[in-house]
Structures are given as structure tokens and as C-alpha cells.
Structure 1
């Protein structure tokens, strides 16, 4: 969430940032709404001050035996008492209206973010590795998985409907191995603390990371009013909500391997075959909580941690800097890691690493205290996939496919596979 004080002082900057994101200017209506809020607050304060003063004057008038003045003052106090509830209601209404309006405004992009309307304006930052060379043609992951007998889409549809998958046998183990490998890498070498967070969260947690109110249709809600997490970013980031942290304890770095649940409301007709776009999938998430000065460097570090997963798996990928029109709601800058999928003959996103500044911290009221002068500031938050496990599985089986239809297990996963070096058709 943006600060209304900053908006009042930087109206042109806000409208310019919104224009870069393809949105209409909003500074004028926001400032006008804030003016009305401030006016009613001022009026309310004046009424309360006058009521208190008049109450004291009644006592003085009575002491002076000035009954006429006392009665007049009593009538004034009664009138003010009657008027105050309506003014307080209006103040609360305008405060809620302003908060709601602010909560729907996207974050301000950093200056070095490419400007453009959609993914066509994203910039290639670097390309790592090379495409596999084979004697056989590429095959899509769902054809490989079904041929091996370890991937069942029809069975999943009978149980849960579309956009679900059943993994069995050696592919189920490979998926588990990928998640464990990622967790071990991030905790043992990259300094992240492993967390097992709740998968169900309350409204204020979703609001804190920016999923609510704007993106409710993309989420699954339970009958008791909780939400299934779309990403572990939600519970991991909210671990610092409503807290004041000591500056010297920053950064905090958390990681979690969790199921994620998304309604995919806006993806009708897209990636309907296979595992690329699911209602339920596993992902290793990375979250960092930093001070204001460190967040940009932390963004580069986090991206490098996610890249290391792909490097050790021997996968070809590229790093994209997202443009203003393709960037997420809460991000100031985002790097997408796009892995090469031979079956589709294209790159597909497998990780997205974003720096959010204090955007989420304002919504969560998460601060840190400076040691020197004991003042507080909002923390800066970052999040990234480290990486999406299901898409990593897709990438491995498509890139490590052998001519006979078997899949070679990457060396780095052998300790997690009980030494199994090749996934072959079920007997």
C-alpha cells in the first residue's frame, strides 16, 4: 500500500507510474477523498474541543449563579453530543473508503524497470546454458509421463475435475526429490530458515501481501472464511506482521515447501493439457525481510539462489526483467526465470523473484527499529520461487528424455532417489 502523504507530495509521480503500468491517473480523486477525510477529522476535533470547553463553562456559570448562561451552554453541549456520532460515523466511512482505494493501487516500479504494456516488452537480462542436443525429437511432458505409466490426468479428473494430476511411482518420487533438493540447497547453503506454515490463512494475511481485495477471484475460500494459500509467500511474509523488529537482526530469510492453490480464473483455455497450470501444485518459496537500504541487493541475491537450482539441475534458462505492464501488483521490480521446455519449443516461467519495498509492510504494519535513535521504519519485503516443483519436474523429464522413452535422473538428485539413475516404463 502506498502512503497518502507521499501521494499528496508526489501526485505527478504516482500518475506517471500508473501510466507506465497501463492504468488511469488516480492522484486527483485520492487527494480529494483525503481532503474530505481531513476536513471531517478537523470538524470532529473542533466539536469535541468545544464540547469539553462548554462543559467546563457550565460549572463556571453555575458558580456565578448565571442560570441563563448555564442553560444555554447545556443546550450547546447536548447539540454537540447529538452531532458527534454522525460525524464519527462519517469519519470512519471516509477512512475506510480511502484505505480501500489505496489498497487497490499497484506498487511504484523502480526507475530501471523497462516500460511496456505486456510481456512483449520484457527484457532478456541473461541466458544460461544451452539447449539439449538429441538424436530424437522433443516430446511434451504429459506424453512422456503417460507413456511411462506414472502420470494420470484422467484419474485425477474423475476425482477432482480439470487441472489436477496424479503422479505415481518413480515420477512421484522424482517430484518429492526435487522439493527436498531445493529445500536442502536453500537452508544449508543459502542461509534460509525452513518453515512449515499454515496452508489456511485469514483475510488480513491475504490483505497483507496484496492478494485481497483485488484478486479474490483467483483464490479458493473455505466455508469458515479462511483462504487456501496461493503461495507460501502469504504466511511467510505475514510472520512479521504487526511486529517491530530490531534492525541488527535483519535480514530474515525464510523458505517453505508447500502445496499452493489457485483458481486460475483468468486462464480459461490456456495450458489445458498437462501440468503447467494447475489448481494445486507444490512450490518452494523464498521470502526475505530486510531494511530499506538492503532490499535491492537482496533482490539480486535471491534471484541468484533460485538460479542455482536450475544450474545444478543442468537446465537451460534465461532471466527476464519484467516490464511495467507485466509486473505483479505488489512488485517494484521482478526477475522471471524461464526454463527451456523442448516439448513446447519455448521458454516458460519457473520462478519469479520480486522486491516490494515497504508496500506489503504498510499493509501488515511490520516495522524495524533503528539502533541509533530508536525510530522505526517499515521493513522491505521480497519473495521468489525457489522454484516451482511441478514445473521443475516438467523441465527435467523433457530435457533428460532418452531415445527409448526413459528419463535420466540428474546427478544432483541421485541421493534423493535411492541411487535410481533412470526412470523407465512401469512394468
Structure 2
């Protein structure tokens, strides 16, 4: 959530940043609604003060039959009626809250203006030593191996689901352990095993509600299936005042993720690139405003290290203002090369959300020597999306005979196995 005090004091800058995000200026409307709310709150406080004063006077009158007592009693009753009216108006007037809840984070100064992914900015790339010339797509390879099942899975769950078998299921597990080991042993992330069902409030805190409600699944008991491990990990500091010496806090977790993929019915309909259920190793950092830019680079480097260890070519892209996620003020995308598709595809997003999520979930800390609290900054990133990493390995390590070589870094996680060979599976 944005800081409404900052909006009041920087209306011109606020409107310009909204325009950069592709949103019409709103400062005039927001300031007007905020002023009405503050006037209403002031009036409410005045009536509360008057009621307290008259109630005290009423209590001091010993003779309850006097005219003075009756007049004071009527005054208190009238004030109570007015207070109920003002409270109802204050609680029912949700226009300002609705606007604020649906406003995305404002882009950082260095984020380029743009309307879509075609206007993103190239930052750097890294080239693999693996020069594979085969060009089958991952779903062809997986089906030929007999270890990637879509048809029977569709009978069970519908489209955009997959079942992995034998060595591909083993490869998935190997990738998870490989990524978690790098993050915890080399980059000081704390491993977490979080819940996969969360309350709507947790989704609101990280910006998935109310704006992105249609992108997630809801249960009959009003729980939401997590669309990303960012939700439970970031909410671990909700409603907390953190010690300065504990920051930064770095969490990592593998979780399944569930997304409705609303609005993407014609995109990536084959294969594992865009599924309703997929696995992801998530990174979340909680830090101070002064250190969040450094932490963003640190997190991005952590995700890059996974790709370098797997010897997969990738590039780093700075997203433009029109392509960033709702809660982000700055995002780097890592895009891995897929020879089967002959293009780079996103495999990770690392975002600095500033204090946007912290304001929603009231996560604060006390700076050394300070008496007041300050909102923390939150960051999140994929390191990596496990299914897409498998896609990249299948396409980059495919051999002419249909087998898949195992990247050197994963051999120990595969129990010494160096190659996945086609197999005949009866079921």
C-alpha cells in the first residue's frame, strides 16, 4: 500500500509515476477523499470528547430527578446518536480504501518507461559452454522418454497439469535439493516449510488481493491456495516489530504454486511452461530501506548462481514500468535460453517491493537508537521455478538418441546418474 501522507505532499510526482505505470492521475481525488475522512475523524473525536465530559458531569450529580440531570442525560443520548451516525459513515465510506487497495506500487526512478515486455531493458547475459545443436521441445522429449504424461493427466485434472515419472520425477526432486542447498549453505537463507493454504488477509498483505483475485484458487472455506511461496514467507513478519540487528532476514522454501492462469488461454498450451500447479523455490528478504537495493542485487545474484552452476545460458532483463508486477517497484527477470523454442523465456523474477507490502501487513523495525518504528522493505524472487528449470535442462542437454545428459552439478543429487535414457512404461 502506498503512503497517503507522501501522496498529499507530492501530488505532482505521484501523478507522474501513475502515468508511468499506465494509470490516469488520481491525486486530486485521493486528496479530496482523504481530507473528507480526516475531517470526519476530527469531528468524531470532538463528539467523543464532548460525550466524555458530559458523562462525567452526569455522574457527579447526586439528585437524579433534577432538570439539570435530565438535560445532561438528553445531551449524552443525542451525542451517542451522532457518534453512531459518524462511525457508520466512516466505516461504510470505502471509496478511498478501494482506490488505495487497487493501486500498484510506484516504479523506482531507474525503471524505464514502457507499456509491455517489448520495452524492457537488457542488463547483461551469461553464455553456457554447452553448445547443443539439437532442437526438440521439452514436451516432445519428455513424452519420447516415456516420463512426461499429459493425456492421462488431463483425464484426472484437466488441461495445464502434468505428471512426471521415473527419472524426470527424480530430476525434479534433485533440482529442489540442489537449489535449497545453494541458498542455505552459500547465501545464508533460512529454509522454511510453510503452509500452502492461507487466509485472504495474507494474500492482501502481499498484494494478491483484491486486485489479482481471479489469478488464484479459493476453497469452499475461503482459504486461498498460494500462487507463490512469497505469500507465506513474507507474512512471517506480519504485525511484527523486528530488531534491527536481526536484519536482513532471508527465507527460502520449496512450495507447489497454484495459479488460475486467467487471461492466458492461448499461451503455452503445450508442455510445462504455464501450468495451474508447478513447483518453485522461493527467496524472500526482509531488510531496511537503506539496504534494500543491495539486497535486490544479492538476491538476483543468488538466482543467477543456480543457472551458472547448471551451465544454462541466460540474460538479465530490467522490467519496464508497464510489465512489472503489482507489488514491485523494481524487477529483474532472468530469462533462460530454450533451443527447442529458439528463444529466451522467463525462469525467475526478483523484485524489490520497498515498503509497499510492509504497510499492508504492518511489518516494522526500530533503527539503532531510534524511538519510532520504520516500515521494513520486502523482496522476493524465484530461484528457481523448478518446472521451467527442467524444461531448460531437457532442451539444452538433449542428445541425438533422445537421451538427456545430466548437468555435472546435479550428478551427485541424482545418485551418480549421468544420463536419462528413454524407457518403456506400461502404465
1:131–1:215 distance in 2 versus 1, CA, 3 Å: farther
Q: Which residue of 1 aligns with 2:88?
A: 89
1:373-392 paired onto structure 2 within 5 Å: 373-392=370-389
Q: Which residue of 1 aligns with 2:136?
A: 139
Question: In structure 2, what is the Cα distance between the partners aligned to 1:145 and 1:379?
Answer: 44
Q: Are 2:295 and 1:295 equivalent residues in the alignment?
A: no
Question: In structure 2, what is the Cα distance between the partners aligned to 1:137 and 1:395?
Answer: 13
3-state SS of the aligned residue for 1:319? strand
Q: Which residue of 2 aligns with 1:44?
A: 44
Q: Deviations over 1:235-292 (max 9, x none)?
A: 0000000111100110000000111000101211100000000000000000000011
Q: Which residue of 1 aligns with 2:273?
A: 276
Question: In structure 2, what is the Cα distance between the partners aligned to 1:5 and 1:151?
Answer: 53
Q: Are 2:135 and 1:126 equivalent residues in the alignment?
A: no
Question: In structure 2, what is the Cα distance between the partners aligned to 1:85 and 1:128?
Answer: 64
Q: Are 2:124 and 1:115 equivalent residues in the alignment?
A: no
Question: In structure 2, what is the Cα distance between the partners aligned to 1:399 and 1:286?
Answer: 25
1:200-279 paired onto structure 2 within 5 Å: 200-279=197-276
1:83–1:374 distance in 2 versus 1, CA, 3 Å: closer
8 Å CA contact retained: 1:318, 1:337: yes
Question: In structure 1, what is the Cα distance between the partners aligned to 2:61 and 2:145?
Answer: 95
1:130 Cα deviation from its structure 2 partner: 4.7
Q: Which residue of 1 aligns with 2:353?
A: 356
Q: Which residue of 1 aligns with 2:75?
A: 76
1:347 Cα deviation from its structure 2 partner: 0.4
Q: Which residue of 2 aligns with 1:166?
A: 163
Q: Which residue of 1 aligns with 2:192?
A: 195
**Could you tell me which of 93, 102, 105 is aligned with 1:104?**
102
Q: Are 2:307 and 1:310 equivalent residues in the alignment?
A: yes
Cα RMSD (Å) of the superposition?
A: 1.8
**Could you tell me which of 391, 394, 399 is aligned with 1:394?**
391
Normalised by the length of structure 1, the TM-score is 0.96
Q: Deviations over 1:303-352 (max 9, x none)?
A: 00000000000000000000000001110100000000011110000000
1:210 Cα deviation from its structure 2 partner: 0.4
8 Å CA contact retained: 2:115, 2:323: yes
Q: Which residue of 1 aligns with 2:331?
A: 334
**Could you tell me which of 175, 180, 184 is aligned with 2:181?**
184
More divergent stretch after superposition (119-128 vs 7-16): 7-16
Question: In structure 2, what is the Cα distance between the partners aligned to 1:303 and 1:73?
Answer: 67
Question: In structure 2, what is the Cα distance between the partners aligned to 1:54 and 1:174?
Answer: 75
1:18 Cα deviation from its structure 2 partner: 0.9
Question: In structure 2, what is the Cα distance between the partners aligned to 1:132 and 1:122?
Answer: 27
8 Å CA contact retained: 1:131, 1:340: no
1:68 Cα deviation from its structure 2 partner: 4.9
Question: In structure 2, what is the Cα distance between the partners aligned to 1:394 and 1:414?
Answer: 17
Question: In structure 2, what is the Cα distance between the partners aligned to 1:44 and 1:278?
Answer: 51
Stretches (4+) displaced over 6 A: 59-63
3-state SS of the aligned residue for 1:336? strand
1:16 Cα deviation from its structure 2 partner: 0.8
Question: In structure 2, what is the Cα distance between the partners aligned to 1:70 and 1:163?
Answer: 74
Question: In structure 2, what is the Cα distance between the partners aligned to 1:188 and 1:132?
Answer: 27
Q: Which residue of 2 aligns with 1:23?
A: 23
Q: Give the paired residue count.
A: 424
Q: Deviations over 1:91-139 (max 9, x none)?
A: 2223x443332111111111001111111110000011158534x5411
Normalised by the length of structure 2, the TM-score is 0.96
Instruction: List gaps (5 residues or longer) in structure 2.
Output: none
3-state SS of the aligned residue for 1:331? coil
Q: Deviations over 1:161-208 (max 9, x none)?
A: 000001101111111111110001111111101000000000111011
8 Å CA contact retained: 1:283, 1:388: yes
Question: In structure 1, what is the Cα distance between the partners aligned to 2:56 and 2:158?
Answer: 71
Question: In structure 2, what is the Cα distance between the partners aligned to 1:221 and 1:190?
Answer: 34
Question: In structure 1, what is the Cα distance between the partners aligned to 2:288 and 2:58?
Answer: 54
1:53 Cα deviation from its structure 2 partner: 3.0
